[in-house]
Structure 1
Amino acid sequence: MNKTKTLVPITPGLSRRTFLHSLGALVLTACGGGGGSAGEAAVSRSAVSAKATVNAASLVLPSAATGEASVTTSGAFVHPGLLHTQADFDRMAQKVAAQTQPWYEGFQAMAGNSHTRLSWSPRPVTVVYRGGSYPQNYPQLYGDIAAAYACALYWKVTGNTAYADKAVQIMNAWSSTLQSISGDTNADLAAGIYGYEFAIVGEIMRSYSGLTAANLSAFQSMMANIFYPINIDFLNRHNNTDITHYWANWDLCNTASIMAIGVLTDDRAMFNEAVDYFVSGLGNGAIAQAVYYLHPGYLGQWQESGRDQGHNTLGIALGGAICEMAWNQGVDLYGYDNNRFLAGAEYVAKANLKQSDGTFLTVPYESYANVDVTQPGFSTASQGTLRPIWALVYNHYVNRKGLAAPWSEAFALSMQPEGGSGTYDNSSGGYDQFGYGTLTFTRDPVTPAAAPSGVTAWPAAGQVVLSWWGVANGTSYNVKRSATSGGPYTTIASGITDPLTYTDSPASGTWYYVVSATTASGEGANSSEVAAVTAVQLHTYLTFDEASSTTAADATGNGHTGTLNGGASRTAGKAGNAVLLDGSSGYVSLPNDIVEDVSDFTIAAWVFRNSASTKQWERVFDFGSGTGRYMMLTPDSNGGAVRFSITLNGSHNERQVNGTAPLPSGQWTHVAVTLSGTTLTLYVNGSQVGQTTGAAFTPWRLGPTAQNWIGRSQFSGDPYFNGAIDEFRIYRGALPAAQVAALAQG
């Protein structure tokens, strides 16, 4: 892989907000249980609980500079507890002993692999090189790791200690020899991919009596002192490049390595670093960036979809390993953000499956750009890549959780029995993951989920786009609507199969939706209710009319109170008082996640720019979680005009609408921006000055935002606003041009 540059544990519908704002979220508890939660008002994400199975300690979620939240877990680790627990090994052994299919067939594939042999001779080196002008000896490392894993697995399934001794021999050979990992930047890949794999081997073997305490300690030391420093340095610095430069897999493999080494060495802080990065990291391996764009029906476009499918499928391999390792330690990253990882897996699986006529299935695509490239379309390079990764995804979501994952399931079943390392040519990732998923991950199915889950209903240009997660035994789905919360509901669509989405066109108002599944036994229960507002509705209104005080009341009664910070004070405004910002430290902060439940919108304000300071890149407002995810309005961009922009992965991929000139100074000016569907429109003094179509980013896609500011930028080098702002309004829905003009009449 070379560089070209609410509180609901274990819930299928776990939103980022639930995770970040609920003590104990994402932690599996021994008792499990809990009921479903009602949908949020106006625009909602439902959550449905499920039974928990693994003990874990509580999570503490303090605030962090990323705008998300740091994750802190505590308590003893489960051992063995990376890709496989002892319960998993017991299941494998029982199924293989009984020659039960498909486990036995999977075992035969593993036993017949060239790495599963007692004659294997380790080939350790003092320095592993990957990349650069050095001798490329890293295949010696990944080959030995593949052999050690296969032998460890064979021992756990059969009890044959000769294979355990072989795995220990390989571990000891490397821990007594390896001194460093080097090369060019590809050394970061070596430390990540082979780091997480080798740590898994050590975790399996730690209970074997033939591995002495001294030898285990030496192996742990190698992982912590040689692999981990490279892993964490990469995540912290990215070799001093732009944060969007490295593809998701670079982050993911290093995150997986940190997580695996943390468990192996009983280092809770290390484990937490990995969980935290997956949830809220700045790079492309954090799940919000890795699953770059959610299409209707929860097809989650993976970050490398416009690059090639070999790397795209590797992302599922690495993300799946991270989710399974975390799950086995009681943290549900699988379910985080309404099963966002599943959305990515389903997209990648569907995109790489062939139809009966030999052609590939098609998937939607949203243009992607980073510091190096712009990728306007889905890449068919290496399409159809086979990686032994799908059994893990299918068995977690379908057989462990009872959800529907039709494309991951189809891929998994088509590859049974999944082979392992070396089964597929290296261009298809023969050594980037272990494989053998038919043996290791297949499990008897649970009772299917009782009802669809994770339902969302997002208004867009007068329509409502619904998506949901299906149930394992569902054959089709029904959408129902009511004008009253709780029903009665009228069925407005039925027989929906793929994708699981429906676009409604109701009258203006507030509408309530549920979804049910049809199974072989008939219609099932309704999902949790979600609501959508198709009428324009005032969401936040700051008049700044207080005589003093550091708070600015929200006149809507919605509690979106502003807080004056730094050099912010009051002055005479366009109507009553206004907030005066000094251009140095003054700004107004708004509550966290201020627009997380907003789709179409209008944001409007009166703006007075002081003539003494009319710098470029000041902000009227900037809502986000840092320089990667934000929506902002600047009175003067580097193009010399007022600009609104919104992005999901930094300034290189903004969706923009630009005016024709900067906002004037020395006078009150009304400015407004609206989004209707995918059309952004910019107004100055009630007149349209710019419009952009095809802008597919909406505020809710930003996810959790803790840096929601009037007068301040996400970028620390940008100037603070110098002047006054009054009558700051946020609406759900796009105001018509005539109503924007009416606001501008003052």
Structure 2
Amino acid sequence: MLVNKQKSKQSNGFDVVNTTLSRRTFLYSLGALALSACGGESPAASAGASSRAASAMVLAANDALARAATGETAVSTSAAFVHPGLLHLQSDFDRMSTKVGAQAAPWYDGWQALIANGHSSADQTLLAEAVITRTATGGSYPHLMQNIAAAYANALYWKVTGSTTHADTAVKIMNGWSSTLQQVTGDTNQDLAAGIYGYEFAIVGEIMRTYPGLSAANLAAFQSMMKNVFYPINIAFLSGHNGTDITHYWANWDLCNIASIMAIGVLCDDHSLFDEAVNYFLFGTGNGAIRQAVYYLHPGYLGQWQETGRDQGHTTLGIALGGAICEMAWNQGIDLYGYDNNRFLAGAEYVAKSNLYEPDGTTIYTVPYLTYSNKDVTQTQLSSNAQPTLRSCWALVYNHYVNRKGLAAPWTQKMAVQVQPEGGPTGNDSGAFDQLGYGTLTFTRDPVAPAVAPSGLTAWPGAGQVALSWWGVANGTSYNVKRAAKSGGPYATIAQGVTDPLTYTDSPSPGTWYYVVSAQTSSGESANSPEATAVTVAQLHTWLTFDETSGAAAADSSGNNHAGTLVGGVTHAAGKSNRAVLLDGSSGYVSLPEDLVADVSDFTVAAWVYWNGGAAWQRVFDFGSGTGRYLYLSPKGGPDNCVRFAITTNGPYGEYRLDGTAALPTGQWTHVAVMLSGTTLTLYVNGAAANSLSNVPFAPWRIGPTAQNWIGRSQFPADPYFNGLVDEFRIYRGALSASQIALLAQGASSV
């Protein structure tokens, strides 16, 4: 599960980064969603509490379903929050003050950028209004964003120098707004205003809460404003997305509202809000959840960001918002940075590289791009609109991964240097105010010792080759790839001098192979990474013969403990070879273990089916985590009512589909198989290839954690259950040959 980073250490002193959450542990209490106002609520706020609580309950229910579908554990916090503890801890302020006092670079350069910005002046005009509007064409929101920028700059000024004059200015702005603001409104852009300015203003309040000049009553009034004006809009958006399809809103809409809820939760000491934000970032169904935001992992951990086909201004904003979310969680003991093998870093590296010039100063680096589709658009290439965008958000990301964790993040590092020293917002362009800025001053830290070895090594087989990717170490200059025929070695070096990207494709003989990677540094070779295993020969993974005559268990004859469980209207009946399961088409299905194919790349799924016919979209099998991430085989579907296989990480809009020439026959035994070799997908009916697709980028492991792995049932609740018999259900790790599939269709018990 996600761990408190301060309590789990490896022997080398580095924090453990767990990339997989434990299964079936639901710690999230709906009762915890009872919302108490910080410092009390006004009558108007109390009147809106029921609506706010209803939105929170909807979000909790949606997230609980999403977590159940993956089998992952909800985050539930209870320990006292650290204060100040959003973007900056007191230790961070102490570091800033010391470094600026010593005029140490680059902190002092960041300080100069702060004091040169007009927002840091103690002479600020209060612009508070009762109603703030933001629409597609304008509104009064610049008054709020300007005052927040001034309050933050003055708060930093106070923390670095001790100037009470600047502290009083920040307090004046806080008190002026908390005594005046009643509503944030407009068209749907109010959701952006409540999200962006909500998280930023909460950060100001968190910094100033320790200032003696901010009375307890005024702090309570500020907390109440944040919870009763901003939070209801945040939670309503995440729970309902204004009634739109879940893929409609870009990642940033989710992310800014996640950030706001998280920040308000800490500011108000409300664990239910903080947990809402963390769990949505991890498991939410919208595009701001991290698996959707970092849409696709290319080799070498270049993580394609969801908005990269849109424009680079919005894409880089995603890094600013995602970084703020990760840092705020980190400061409260939750490691979102490291989740899913540093998935956020993969996104940051991709975005940074695609907004940097090559050494010639005129050509921007190219990055791989996978076509992205949602309900509204299909984007076939990375957008050059606003490229490059040099947003003030990179110091935070760079300093966490490199100077705090000792990892290599070369493109993030180049971008951080490029925009250093990071200043704050200027002018009246709202985009400049979408982050607080001054990252060089606030986030730069002295580096820790580099990681002792590369980490996060993966080895995915495909069409006889093995694609390896890994995370480097901060002082690595190149990398060595090693392979062994048995676990633990001895290893033979198969590649040296690998630099960028950190990936290597091996072409070993068929078998099981074990890989490690080491770094070459100025002081010599590092230790080896943890080992990764790749199987380049087809192996039986799951084999359900369904030969039982009674009971709910279906034994796995592969020896891999992948037994099935009969659920609902399922009975035993005569089968193709011996016995089979009869699914009633109403409630019967077979449930298979969680994460059944989470470590599978090339695969073959084969079975004998006796379909009784009926409505389209029944399922022979469907493995997934809900209606966004799955792979399935339907006996009849699509516009032509043909047998269909599909795999996706973005719901129906992102499906890669392979249709046969007709629906599966009814009233007779039919052998059906689906095989993926590299990027080539082939569908077989009765041992003969029915169709093939050669550009499939998704293997089962890309679906992520799954707890809804079913024979006879769909991820989509409205789809009908399978009506008929299933026998000899097999999954192979690896692609069987056409002749091997033909043998299975001829009744062979092994191939």
TM-score (norm 2): 0.92
Pairing partner for 1:328 from 318, 327, 331? 331
Q: Residues of 2 paired with 1:680 and 1:233: CA distance? A: 41
What's the counterpart of residue 35 of structure 2? none
Q: Residues of 2 paired with 1:232 and 1:606: CA distance? A: 48
Shift of 1:132: 5.5
What's the counterpart of residue 129 of structure 1? 133
Is contact 1:26–1:333 with CA below 8 Å preserved after alignment?
no
Q: Residues of 1 paired with 2:728 and 2:560: CA distance? A: 16
Shift of 1:318: 0.4
What's the counterpart of residue 296 of structure 2? 293
1:400 aligns with 2:400: no
Is contact 2:14–2:405 with CA below 8 Å preserved after alignment?
no
Shift of 1:153: 0.6
1:306 aligns with 2:313: no
Pairing partner for 2:15 from 33, 40, 50? 50
Is contact 2:6–2:15 with CA below 8 Å preserved after alignment?
no
1:385 aligns with 2:389: yes
The one-letter code sitting in structure 2 at the alignment partner of 1:128 is I
What's the counterpart of residue 156 of structure 2? 153
1:644 aligns with 2:620: no
1:319 aligns with 2:322: yes
1:266 aligns with 2:266: no
What's the counterpart of residue 346 of structure 1? 349
1:34 aligns with 2:35: no
What's the counterpart of residue 666 of structure 1? 667
- Alignment map for 1:544-623 (pairs within 5 Å): 544-611=546-613, 614-623=614-623
Pairing partner for 1:100 from 101, 104, 122? 104
Shift of 1:97: 0.8
- Alignment map for 1:478-497 (pairs within 5 Å): 478-497=480-499
Q: Residues of 2 paired with 1:140 and 1:626: CA distance? A: 42
What's the counterpart of residue 634 of structure 2? 634
Larger helix percent: 2
Is contact 1:60–1:72 with CA below 8 Å preserved after alignment?
no
The one-letter code sitting in structure 2 at the alignment partner of 1:74 is S
Give runs of ≥4 in structure 1 deviating > 2 Å: 32-36, 48-52, 59-64
Is contact 1:60–1:73 with CA below 8 Å preserved after alignment?
no
The one-letter code sitting in structure 2 at the alignment partner of 1:493 is A
Is contact 2:638–2:644 with CA below 8 Å preserved after alignment?
no
Q: Secondary structure at the match of 2:126?
A: coil
Give CA-to-partner distance per residue, 1:125-157, whole Å, 9 cap, x none.
111111157x61011111111010000011001
Q: Secondary structure at the match of 2:479?
A: strand
What's the counterpart of residue 3 of structure 1? none
Q: Residues of 2 paired with 1:250 and 1:290: CA distance? A: 11
Shift of 1:51: 7.0
Shift of 1:29: 2.4
Q: Residues of 1 paired with 2:157 and 2:542: CA distance? A: 61
Q: Residues of 1 paired with 2:25 and 2:575: CA distance? A: 43
What's the counterpart of residue 655 of structure 2? 654
Q: Residues of 2 paired with 1:627 and 1:694: CA distance? A: 22
Q: Structure 1's 651 and 716: CA in aligned 2 closer, same or farther, altered over 3 A? A: same
Give CA-to-partner distance per residue, 1:264-314, whole Å, 9 cap, x none.
000001100111011110010000000000000000000011111011101
Q: Secondary structure at the match of 2:481?
A: strand
Q: Residues of 1 paired with 2:337 and 2:644: CA distance? A: 38
The one-letter code sitting in structure 1 at the alignment partner of 2:202 is A
The one-letter code sitting in structure 2 at the alignment partner of 1:721 is F
Q: Secondary structure at the match of 1:635?
A: strand
Is contact 1:618–1:635 with CA below 8 Å preserved after alignment?
yes
Q: Residues of 1 paired with 2:6 and 2:653: CA distance? A: 42
What's the counterpart of residue 736 of structure 1? 737
What's the counterpart of residue 540 of structure 1? 542
Is contact 2:5–2:15 with CA below 8 Å preserved after alignment?
no
Q: Structure 1's 111 and 592: CA in aligned 2 closer, same or farther, altered over 3 A? A: same
Q: Residues of 1 paired with 2:663 and 2:75: CA distance? A: 42
Is contact 2:642–2:661 with CA below 8 Å preserved after alignment?
yes
What's the counterpart of residue 436 of structure 1? 438
What's the counterpart of residue 39 of structure 1? none
Shift of 1:60: 6.4
Shift of 1:27: 1.8
Q: Secondary structure at the match of 1:642?
A: strand
The one-letter code sitting in structure 1 at the alignment partner of 2:626 is G
Instruction: Report the identity percentage.
Output: 68
The one-letter code sitting in structure 1 at the alignment partner of 2:65 is A
Q: Secondary structure at the match of 1:739?
A: helix
Is contact 1:370–1:653 with CA below 8 Å preserved after alignment?
yes
Give CA-to-partner distance per residue, 1:437-492, whole Å, 9 cap, x none.
10000000000000000000000110000000000000000000010111111000
- Alignment map for 1:695-706 (pairs within 5 Å): 695-706=696-707
Is contact 1:477–1:517 with CA below 8 Å preserved after alignment?
yes
Q: Secondary structure at the match of 1:33?
A: coil
Shift of 1:28: 1.3
The one-letter code sitting in structure 2 at the alignment partner of 1:724 is L
Give CA-to-partner distance per residue, 1:605-639, whole Å, 9 cap, x none.
1111114xx21000111111111111111111132
The one-letter code sitting in structure 2 at the alignment partner of 1:225 is N
Unmatched runs of 5 consecutive residues or more in structure 2:
18-23, 29-63
Q: Residues of 2 paired with 1:412 and 1:702: CA distance? A: 32
What's the counterpart of residue 727 of structure 2? 726
Is contact 2:178–2:222 with CA below 8 Å preserved after alignment?
yes
Q: Residues of 2 paired with 1:534 and 1:61: CA distance? A: 37
Is contact 2:155–2:207 with CA below 8 Å preserved after alignment?
yes
Q: Residues of 2 paired with 1:480 and 1:35: CA distance? A: 24
Q: Residues of 1 paired with 2:709 and 2:229: CA distance? A: 40
Which stretch shows the higher mean deviation, 112-121 or 449-458?
112-121
Unmatched runs of 5 consecutive residues or more in structure 1:
1-21, 37-47, 53-58
Q: Residues of 1 paired with 2:163 and 2:25: CA distance? A: 43
Q: Structure 1's 79 and 294: CA in aligned 2 closer, same or farther, altered over 3 A? A: same
Q: Secondary structure at the match of 1:365?
A: coil
Q: Structure 1's 60 and 257: CA in aligned 2 closer, same or farther, altered over 3 A? A: farther
Shift of 1:426: 3.0
Q: Residues of 1 paired with 2:473 and 2:463: CA distance? A: 30
- Alignment map for 1:393-472 (pairs within 5 Å): 393-422=397-426, 426=429, 429-472=431-474
Is contact 2:570–2:581 with CA below 8 Å preserved after alignment?
yes
The one-letter code sitting in structure 2 at the alignment partner of 1:124 is A
The one-letter code sitting in structure 2 at the alignment partner of 1:562 is G
Q: Structure 1's 51 and 531: CA in aligned 2 closer, same or farther, altered over 3 A? A: closer
The one-letter code sitting in structure 1 at the alignment partner of 2:260 is S
Count residues with an aligned counterpart.
700
Is contact 2:145–2:197 with CA below 8 Å preserved after alignment?
yes
1:109 aligns with 2:113: yes
Q: Residues of 2 paired with 1:702 and 1:284: CA distance? A: 15
Pairing partner for 2:286 from 273, 283, 290? 283
Give CA-to-partner distance per residue, 1:620-664, whole Å, 9 cap, x none.
111111111111111111321001001011101101111010111
Shift of 1:71: 1.8
Q: Residues of 2 paired with 1:327 and 1:86: CA distance? A: 14
Q: Secondary structure at the match of 1:115?
A: helix
Q: Residues of 2 paired with 1:276 and 1:434: CA distance? A: 24
What root-mean-square deviation, in Å, do the aligned CA atoms of Structure 1 and Structure 2 show?
Answer: 1.5
Q: Residues of 1 paired with 2:538 and 2:14: CA distance? A: 33
TM-score (norm 1): 0.92
Shift of 1:34: 2.5
What's the counterpart of residue 185 of structure 2? 182
Q: Secondary structure at the match of 2:433?
A: coil
What's the counterpart of residue 714 of structure 1? 715
The one-letter code sitting in structure 2 at the alignment partner of 1:732 is R
What's the counterpart of residue 18 of structure 1? none
Q: Residues of 2 paired with 1:26 and 1:740: CA distance? A: 45
The one-letter code sitting in structure 1 at the alignment partner of 2:494 is I
1:197 aligns with 2:200: yes
Q: Residues of 2 paired with 1:679 and 1:132: CA distance? A: 44
The one-letter code sitting in structure 1 at the alignment partner of 2:677 is S
Q: Secondary structure at the match of 2:534?
A: strand
